[in-house]
């Protein structure tokens, strides 16, 4: 295999190449490390772990050579969002508060990551404490979208998305509190899974809003994301082994569907009035996907879900309330940033937090403290909890009429970076020289753009995002499928069938980051024509 072209392969394909001894894990790891150097301008990583990656690659190769049977992704290099604790490796959550924090323990998912023979290339950039939708609130500077370097890759798991999309990792872990796995996948033409709330341990995931926080997986296609989910799951659902097939036949066996009508028997809910919140290109792509599925045998069930109108306000009230409580632990005393010249204990608290947190985090702590305060609790927090219950009940009702719900993952394609933070690299020195006093974009507008992702977190249900088209400018559009709790096998199967019918997920951004950095018209038209080639088969 020509390792220079490895980013054209899916992670499962790379795993098979390792298993069949066509490439070794150390060879592949070195190729990815080289590619990370070439793609440094994406700012996808906060901390690169080259030496550790090579040690892990050697170790897994030894285990494979000894005949040990490991995950299908064994030896395939991956990236991990920098809010997931890694023992002995700096974990910053994208914040000055944790700029030099080295966890003394691994997150539960990282224990399984290591046991399965995975290789960690580094820790990826994110919005500070995972609060944001563009990866611009990171203390370490914004991430660039490999499809167009002037645009955001989405957030908060934007570093993980840029790494996989730009060929700087084969697959990645992210976290999804209100859409941070699904929305960056949508902006970067990847596939991602936000599993059922509680299905993966949160131990070692730096807390943002605990009743929503959920680790998820990102890959070049849905099978990669499914294999990654199996790899980190305490009780794997066998998603990889059942679905890691190139032939429709095998998948059809499982779904008991016929090859000519692979979606037969599947009831897909389509909340058409909810779709009106999306840009027309996005809406059209999702409606076209519904038509394709219908033509392939699915029954489309019209849904009316007015309860979802309350999703964004309810989410932000509850998420900020939980964040204000979770972030109280950063007091400058126990761990994290401590102000240098504090006069007394009170000043240690106040100045450490003033210096350590960026503006978006402060905004949310203030909002959260406000909605939890005695005089306002009933008016805001309690009301938001009630709305949350109504949304969960609405989903319950919907899932008696359909098997999964189709929606966009985001109302738009990737937005332009605002440039508030200018152009810089991810080095701490650079970050320290920035004031970070301005907000990257209009916060309220960004909150509202979470309308399609937060309902699944409010209800705790699983959801996946898969590519479903490109805008006129050649930017990826993502399709979301939501299902009832523990319906990951159904969602993965449906997404895998969708992939069998389409080529969107096979499109890659241009390879040369130097060319991609500025998103010239010529490149955009090149991508657009590639996109047209990627229409439904
Ligand atoms: N954009 C949402 C927020 O800012 C979701 C972030 C996330 O899922 N981590 O809260």
Q: Which domains does the chain have, with CATH numbers?
A: 3-309+391-533 (3.90.1300.10)
Active site residues: 81, 156, 180
Q: What is the pLDDT of residues 465-478, one digit of tens each?
A: 999 999 999 999 99
Atom of ligand 1 nearest to the CA of 157: 9
Residue 516 has pLDDT above 80, yes or no: no
| 431 SS3 class | helix
Distance 129 CA to ligand 1 centre (A): 9
For ligand 1, pick from 83, 152, 156 the residue to mutate: most ligand atoms within 8 Å of CB: 156
Contacts 24+ apart (CB under 8 A), 367-370: 367/316, 367/317, 367/320, 367/324, 368/319, 368/320, 368/321, 368/322, 368/323, 368/324, 368/325, 369/324
In contact, 347 and 109? CB cutoff 8 Å: no
DSSP secondary structure, 110-130, as one string: HHHHHHTT-EEEEEE--SGGG
Average pLDDT score over residue span 256-269: 79
Atom of ligand 1 nearest to the CA of 177: 8
For ligand 1, pick from 84, 160, 180 the residue to mutate: most ligand atoms within 8 Å of CB: 180
pLDDT band at 7 (very low <50, low <70, confident <90, very high): confident
Atom of ligand 1 nearest to the CA of 208: 9
Q: Tally the C-alpha atoms within 13 A of residue 334's C-alpha that lie toward its C-beta.
A: 6
Distance 51 CA to ligand 1 centre (A): 32
Closest Cα to atom 2 of ligand 1: 178
Atom of ligand 1 nearest to the CA of 179: 8
What does the pLDDT read at residue 26?
98
Q: What is the pLDDT of residues 64-91, one digit of tens each?
A: 999 999 999 999 999 999 999 999 999 9
Q: How far apart are CA 96 and CA 357, in angstroms?
A: 7
Q: What is the pLDDT of residues 161-186, one digit of tens each?
A: 999 999 999 999 999 999 999 999 99
Closest to 127 measured CA to CA, from 140, 114, 109: 140
| pTM summary value | 0.91
What does the pLDDT read at residue 256?
47
Distance 399 CA to ligand 1 centre (A): 25
Q: What is the pLDDT of residues 15-66, one digit of tens each?
A: 999 999 999 999 999 999 999 999 999 999 999 999 999 999 999 999 999 9
Question: What is the percent of the chain with per-residue pLDDT over 90, rounded to a whole number?
Answer: 80
Q: How far apart are CA 510 and CA 149, in angstroms?
A: 11
Ligand 1 site, CB within 6 A: 130-133, 156, 175-180, 208, 319, 450
pLDDT band at 105 (very low <50, low <70, confident <90, very high): very high
Q: What is the pLDDT of residues 397-412, one digit of tens each?
A: 999 999 999 999 999 9
What does the pLDDT read at residue 522?
36
Q: What is the pLDDT of residues 482-498, one digit of tens each?
A: 999 999 989 998 999 99
What does the pLDDT read at residue 284?
98
What does the pLDDT read at residue 259?
65
Distance 518 CA to ligand 1 centre (A): 27
In contact, 233 and 196? CB cutoff 8 Å: no
Alpha helices in 47-176 (DSSP H): 50-65, 108-115, 158-165
Starting from the edge strand earliest in sequence, which strands make up the sheet with 45-48, in order? 45-48, 119-124, 77-81, 171-175, 215-219, 191-194, 463-470, 476-483, 404-408, 267-270, 299-302
Cα 44–chain centre separation = 13
Closest Cα to atom 10 of ligand 1: 131
Average pLDDT score over residue span 347-370: 97
């Amino acid at each position: 295999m020509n390792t220079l072209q490895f980013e054209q392969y899916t992670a499962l394909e790379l795993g098979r190449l390792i298993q069949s001894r066509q490439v070794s894990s150390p060879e592949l790891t070195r190729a990815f490390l080289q590619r990370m150097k070439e793609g440094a301008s994406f700012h996808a990583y906060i901390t690169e772990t080259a030496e550790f990656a090579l040690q892990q690659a050697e170790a897994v190769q030894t285990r494979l050579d000894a005949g040990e049977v490991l995950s299908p992704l064994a030896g395939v290099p991956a990236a991990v969002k920098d809010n997931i604790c890694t023992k002995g490796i700096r974990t910053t959550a994208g914040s000055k508060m944790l700029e030099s924090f080295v966890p003394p323990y691994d997150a539960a998912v990282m224990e399984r990551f290591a046991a399965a023979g995975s290789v960690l290339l580094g820790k990826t950039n994110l919005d500070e404490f995972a609060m944001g939708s563009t990866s611009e609130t990171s203390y370490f500077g914004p991430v660039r979208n490999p499809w167009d370097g002037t645009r955001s890759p989405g957030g908060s798991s934007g570093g993980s998305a840029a790494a996989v999309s730009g060929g700087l990792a084969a697959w990645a872990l992210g976290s999804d509190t209100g859409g941070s796995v699904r929305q960056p996948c949508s902006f970067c033409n990847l596939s991602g899974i936000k599993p059922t709330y509680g299905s993966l341990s949160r131990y070692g995931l730096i807390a943002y809003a605990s009743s929503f926080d959920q680790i998820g997986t990102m890959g070049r296609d849905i099978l990669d994301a499914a294999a990654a989910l199996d790899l980190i799951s305490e009780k794997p659902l066998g998603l990889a082994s059942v679905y890691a097939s190139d032939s429709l036949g095998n998948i059809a066996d499982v779904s008991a569907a016929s090859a000519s009508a692979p979606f037969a028997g599947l009831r897909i809910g389509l909340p058409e009035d909810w779709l009106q919140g999306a840009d027309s290109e996005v809406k059209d792509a999702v409606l076209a996907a519904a038509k394709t599925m219908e033509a392939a045998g699915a029954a489309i069930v019209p849904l009316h879900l007015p309860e979802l109108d309350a999703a964004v306000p309810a989410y932000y009230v509850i998420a900020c309330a939980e964040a204000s409580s979770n972030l109280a632990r950063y007091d400058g005393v126990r761990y994290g940033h401590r102000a240098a010249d504090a006069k007394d204990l009170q000043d240690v608290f106040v100045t450490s937090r003033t210096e350590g947190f960026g503006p978006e985090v402060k905004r949310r702590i203030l909002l959260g403290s406000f909605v939890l305060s005695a005089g306002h609790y009933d008016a805001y927090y309690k009301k938001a909890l009630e709305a949350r219950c109504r949304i969960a009940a609405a989903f319950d009702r919907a899932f008696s009429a359909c098997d999964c719900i189709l929606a966009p993952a985001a109302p738009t394609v990737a937005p332009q970076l605002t440039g508030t933070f200018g152009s810089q690299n991810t080095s701490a020195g650079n970050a320290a020289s920035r004031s970070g006093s301005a907000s990257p974009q209009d916060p309220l507008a960004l909150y509202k753009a979470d309308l399609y992702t937060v309902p699944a977190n409010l209800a705790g249900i699983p959801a996946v995002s898969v590519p479903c088209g490109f805008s006129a400018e050649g930017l990826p559009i993502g399709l979301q499928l939501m299902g009832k709790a523990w319906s990951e096998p159904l969602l993965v199967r449906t997404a895998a069938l969708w992939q069998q019918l389409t080529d969107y997920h096979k499109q890659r951004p241009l390879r040369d980051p130097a060319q991609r950095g500025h998103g010239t018209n010529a490149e955009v038209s090149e991508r657009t024509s590639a996109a047209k080639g990627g229409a439904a088969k």
